[in-house]
Structure 1
């Protein structure tokens, strides 16, 4: 593979990652703000979960923080990990507590995993900086 074709692959990967990050950020910003604003559907949903409305607000903050991280160069991989873990918890909640379909949370979790994969070099570099 020539240097030009390697650069082309990297450019496509970068564009794909940013596009996916933008879509995910929009989804998590919308969901997070809906939770924090107390949209009736969210209030009812979190009442069914049974942990109190503080958990709805905390979940909204977690989602908004992750969405912002997805849009910050150097933090996108951490944001995707953060939101991916959040979706693992959401899947468990849908299956074991709400007894509803976990498919949306699974899809969002998988898409966050794709971002982690596409941003793996960034994540490794960040871990090396932390490690010293």
Structure 2
């Protein structure tokens, strides 16, 4: 189980750092996506920073649950954005959200009293 958790954390880190960097660097696709959502480009920067920061927290002992929870919340918003505005391609966001939820669950002792 230890190696499965490490593998999922590595996958999440790669996915969210890549997506976060694309958002912060102003990749054309990301700019268009956030334009379509209508929240403004400032939201693209905030989302990119959250994705990178949360991915980093997955590797900080004692903070893994916080990082994973931030990613779950971000993917919840992404799924809603895809279903309500962008189109039906919410499956990648849903899969990443479920993987992040699994990591949060494996570190639940960090946030829940014993």
Aligned to 2:49: 61
Aligned to 1:115: 103
Within-5 A mapping of 1:1-132: 13-124=1-112
Q: Counterparts of 2:20 and 2:88 in 1: how far apart (Å)?
A: 20
Q: Counterparts of 2:62 and 2:5 in 1: how far apart (Å)?
A: 13
**TM-score scaled by structure 1?**
0.80
**TM-score scaled by structure 2?**
0.91
Structure number with bigger Rg:
1
Q: Counterparts of 2:38 and 2:65 in 1: how far apart (Å)?
A: 31
Q: Counterparts of 2:40 and 2:98 in 1: how far apart (Å)?
A: 28
Contact (CA 8 Å) 1:25, 1:71: kept in 2 or not? no
RMSD: 1.4
Q: When the two structures are aligned, how many residues end up with a matched partner?
A: 114
Contact (CA 8 Å) 1:80, 1:115: kept in 2 or not? yes
TM superposition outliers: structure 1 runs of 4+ over 3 Å: none
More helix by share: 1
Aligned to 1:4: none
